[in-house]
């Protein structure tokens, strides 16, 4: 490589790095400027997301032994304020808002110690399931408690194989899967905090992507997403319970580089924790198709100017 080519390469690398950094800063700014707002200043979309987001935090908290671990207190206040604001504005209470209200009630019961975790019965879930694809999709849940039982190697290989049938941009298939099997000599009890889950999961699968052949910024993350969706659905179809854990910024990429010689052009995007389920999680209700969709018919001219978003 000539000196000129080398300098060119360094400049391109620096530009890509800078662009990624700018994207991350933009994302953080969007997040913090939303979270700093009073609920009264939020638009409908922000308020809806805040209700689902804080509802999820309280749902997770109720699976912990006590409040100090679950850390749901401030989220509870935020959820109450957000729901009150939603109702004050007279917006329709879709299934996701009704679910969040239920979670709030459950959290209050859990706080005063009068209620333990409420789960749907096994019979109820089994009666609803058949092997149709839609049923597998609808019944997969994030599972955060597992039996202290080894997962057979054939099953792990089968679900990774299913993951490799996912579509990838330009057919790149730039994956590498790291599988960490728990020998159960470490602590395997614990709550549903990320740290506890990482320690007790019978299996952790980390997905890394070789980013060298992507000129697009978001395609590697999308490829990871499609792949992981196949993986968690396949795990569910085989009777395993999984939970995704976003890892891009939080994981120690260096651990993979130093222990497994992972080259610097690979990035670990996500971990999937899995094992035989030791809980039957209830479903966080979904937003309605109507609320999340805009059908655009024909030339769309007559719709110009209409606001489709919850601003
Ligand atoms: C990209 C991504 C990252 C996630 N990270 C975490 C995580 O760090 N910890 C966790 O407990 N759940 C995590 N989840 C699981 C979500 O909380 C869960 O999918 C959501 O609450 C909906 O519940 P369900 O999967 O049971 O339908 C993650 C999910 C996705 C898609």
DSSP designation for 113: T
Q: Is the CB of 286 under 6 A from ligand 1?
A: no
- Pair 107, 121: CB distance under 8 Å: no
Q: Among the listed ranges 144-158, 260-274, 293-307, which one has the minimum average pLDDT value?
A: 293-307
pLDDT in tens, 50-97: 999 999 999 888 888 776 666 677 889 999 999 999 999 999 999 999
For the chain, the average pLDDT equals 88
Q: Locate the ligand 1 atom nearest the alpha carbon of residue 281 and give its number.
A: 26
Least confident of 42-46, 87-91, 230-234: 42-46
Cα 118 to middle of ligand 1, angstroms: 19
* Across 178-204, average pLDDT: 89
Per-residue pLDDT for 162 more than 90?
yes
Determine what percent of the chain falls in helix, strand and coil, rounding each to the nearest 5.
50, 10, 40
Say yes or no to pLDDT of 300 above 60.
no
User: 46-55, 79-88, 168-177, 189-198: lowest mean pLDDT where?
Assistant: 189-198
Q: Is the pLDDT of residue 304 over 80?
A: no
Which residue, judged by its Cα, is nearest atom 6 of ligand 1?
245
For residue 29, what are the CA distances in angstroms to 35, 82, 109, 282?
Answer: 10, 21, 36, 33
- The domain locations on the chain are 37-118+285-303, 122-275
Lowest mean pLDDT among 17-26, 128-137, 290-299: 17-26
Q: Is the CB of 141 under 6 A from ligand 1?
A: yes
Which CATH entry fits the domain spanning 122-275: 3.30.70.20, 3.30.470.30, 3.40.109.10, 3.10.290.10?
A: 3.40.109.10
- Check residue 91 and report its DSSP letter: -
CA 15 / ligand 1 centre spacing (Å)? 32
| Mean pLDDT for the stretch of residues 24-38 | 83
In the reported structure, the alpha carbon of residue 243 is separated from the centroid of ligand 1 by a whole-number distance in angstroms of 6
- 236 neighbors 139 (Cβ within 8 angstroms): yes
Closest ligand 1 atom, residue 141 Cα? 26
Q: What residues have CB less than 8 Å from 24, skipping those under 6 apart?
A: 249
Closest ligand 1 atom to 194 CA: 9
Q: Which of 199, 241, 246, 250 for a ligand 1 pocket mutation test, highest count of atoms within 8 Å of Cβ?
A: 246
Percent of the chain with pLDDT over 70: 91
Work out the average pLDDT over 149-157: 97
* pTM metric for this prediction: 0.82
Distance from residue 234's CA to the centre of ligand 1 (Å):
17
């Amino acid at each position: 490589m000539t000196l000129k080519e080398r300098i060119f390469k360094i400049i391109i690398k620096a530009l890509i790095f800078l662009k990624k950094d700018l994207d991350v800063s933009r994302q953080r700014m969007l997040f913090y400027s939303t979270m700093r707002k009073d609920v009264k200043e939020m638009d409908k979309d922000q308020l809806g997301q805040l209700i689902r987001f804080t509802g999820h935090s309280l749902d997770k908290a109720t699976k912990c032994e006590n409040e100090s671990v679950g850390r749901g207190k401030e989220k509870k206040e935020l959820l109450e304020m957000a729901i009150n604001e939603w109702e004050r504005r007279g917006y329709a209470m879709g299934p996701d808002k009704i679910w969040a209200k239920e979670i709030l009630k459950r959290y209050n019961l859990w706080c005063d110690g009068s209620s333990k975790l409420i789960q749907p019965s096994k019979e109820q879930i089994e009666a609803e399931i058949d092997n149709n694809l839609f049923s597998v999709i609808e019944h997969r849940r994030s599972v955060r408690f597992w039996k202290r039982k080894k997962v057979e190697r054939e099953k792990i290989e089968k679900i990774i194989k299913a993951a490799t049938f996912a579509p990838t941009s330009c057919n790149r298939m730039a994956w590498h899967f790291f599988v960490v099997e728990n020998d159960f000599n470490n602590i395997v009890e614990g709550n549903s905090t990320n740290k506890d889950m990482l320690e007790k999961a019978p299996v952790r699968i980390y997905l890394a992507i070789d980013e060298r052949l992507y000129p697009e910024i978001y395609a590697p993350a999308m490829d990871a997403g499609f792949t992981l969706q196949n993986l968690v659905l396949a795990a569910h179809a085989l009777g395993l319970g999984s939970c995704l854990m976003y890892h891009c910024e939080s994981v120690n990429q260096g651990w993979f580089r130093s222990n497994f010689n992972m080259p610097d052009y690979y990035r670990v995007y996500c971990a999937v924790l899995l094992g035989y389920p030791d809980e039957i999680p209830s479903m966080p209700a979904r937003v309605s198709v109507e609320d999340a969709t805009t059908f655009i018919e024909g030339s769309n001219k007559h719709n110009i100017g209409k606001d489709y978003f919850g601003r």
